[in-house]
Amino acid sequence: MSASVTITERGSGTQRKGRRSGGGKVDGAGAQADSQKSHSTATGALNWLVVPALVLFLVFAIVPLVGVLVLSFTDWDGIGAINFNGVENWLRSFSDPSMYKALGLTFLIMVLTWVIQTPISLLLGTFTAGSQKYRALLAVLYFLPLLLSSAAIAIAYKTLLDPNFGLAAGLHMPILAQDWLGQPQLALGVVIFVVSWQFIPFHTLIYQGGVRQIPKSLYEAASIDGAGRVKQFFYITVPQLKYTIITSSTLMVVGAVTYFDMIFVLTGGGPGNATRNLALDMYLTGFKANQMGQASVTAVILVVLGLGIALWLQRLGGKDKNGSQLEGM
């Protein structure tokens, strides 16, 4: 079990980092598949190279996963003896309205953050893909939120939104003195805003890379045919970015399932239970209420949810997704 600690600390320390390395692996896998195509004789050697990754995967993912599954059938409080209590935790979870509320909230946050982040990142990514100096400067500014940790961002926003001592008081703008984190709807809006603010730079970066891969010749041909910038964007840029969109969406959506640190610091799940998503519910049940067994049920649900959505998004890409987008060019 001590092996699982490393991953915990890494994961909980900077969730963003974890998600980013996930992105690296997606791209890495693609690169590997491509290289296999051109060097099919090296396949045997490459299979052996997979071994360390497989071992790591077993130790850090499968073993804790099985452990959590086992714990979900116990009444462990984290300190005392571990007693099996059958499917009691599962029955309680599935008959608990607050579980469904947390599940619904998780989906709501997932959908809303995707809807907000994707168009903005896509536009910003396309914009910053140009080579003018002012764009490079703006790109640097856009990427600043990416450098901050979720906890620091949450603390900063919490201070800024304080109705008595925050922005409203500093700028003498009473309109800003809303009960931002005290009204259920407003608090949810703030969470979605801050999450988007934090992650749009990262996805902009992905889209910027994607746009730069699109051959200039496509645009030149379109210009000759008389297509304007808007038409070029919708008929060349967006279709060419199909796989970038899938990669970025996978990261966004799977990340949204496990949003924790930012919400934990910003609202703690409140007011009431207005922002208590599944990941936060799992933490509070496990570590605050000492019900590790019950929390493990939530954890298993989260895993199934995350993997299911990731697989589904992969399927969206269609059968040809590993072929080069530039084939035949």
Partner 1 sequence: MEHKTSSRRSFLTLAGLAPLAVWGLSACGTSGPGGDKGAAGSASMWSLTGPPGETIRKNSIDTFNKANADTQVKLTLFQNDAFKTKIKTAIGAGEAPTMIYGWGGGGLKTYAQAEQVLDLTSWLEENPKVKDKLFPSAFGAATIDGKIYALPNETVAPIILFFNKTLFDKAGAQPPKTWDDLMALTKTFNDLGIAPISLAGQSRWTSMMWLELMFDRVGGPEVFNDVFAGKENAWSNPAALEALTKIQELVSANGFIKGFNSITADSNADQALLYTGKAAMMLHGAWTYGGMKADGGDFVPGGNLGWVDFPTVAGGKGDAKNGVGNPGQYMSISSKATAEEVDTAKKYFAEGLLSPAEVSAWIESGAVPIVVGIEDQLAATADKDFLTYVYNSAKDAPNFQQSWDQALTPTAAEALLNNIDQLFTKSITPEKFASNMNATIGK
25 near partner 1, rule: CB under 8 A: yes
The interface with partner 1 within residues 3-22 (CB under 8 A) comprises 3-5, 7-12, 15, 18-19, 21-22
Q: How many CB atoms lie within 10 A of CB 171?
A: 10
The interface with partner 1 within residues 131-150 (CB under 8 A) comprises none
CB 256 within 8 A of CB 109: yes
CB 187 within 8 A of CB 280: no
In the list 133, 172, 216, 319, the residue contacting partner 1 (rule: CB under 8 A) is 319
The nearer residue to partner 1, 169 or 222, going by C-beta atoms, is: 169
Q: How far is the CB of 71 from partner 1 (least distance, A)?
A: 6
231 near partner 1, rule: CB under 8 A: no
Written as one string, the DSSP assignment of 286-297 is IIIS--HHHHHH
91 near partner 1, rule: CB under 8 A: no
60 near partner 1, rule: CB under 8 A: yes
The interface with partner 1 within residues 244-263 (CB under 8 A) comprises 250, 254-255, 257-258, 260
CB 142 within 8 A of CB 124: yes
In the list 80, 97, 226, 328, the residue contacting partner 1 (rule: CB under 8 A) is 80
116-to-99, 125, 149 alpha-carbon distances in Å? 26, 14, 21
The nearer residue to partner 1, 114 or 219, going by C-beta atoms, is: 114
Kindly provide the b/e burial profile for residues 55-86, where b requires at least 16 CB atoms within 10 angstroms of the residue's own CB: eeeeebeeebbeebeebbbbbbbeeeeeeeee
201 near partner 1, rule: CB under 8 A: no
The nearer residue to partner 1, 125 or 255, going by C-beta atoms, is: 255
Six-digit token string for 32: 């590997």
The interface with partner 1 within residues 275-304 (CB under 8 A) comprises 279, 282-292, 296, 299, 302-303
Under DSSP, is residue 226 helix (H, G, I), strand (E, B) or coil?
Answer: coil
Q: How far is the CB of 210 from partner 1 (least distance, A)?
A: 17
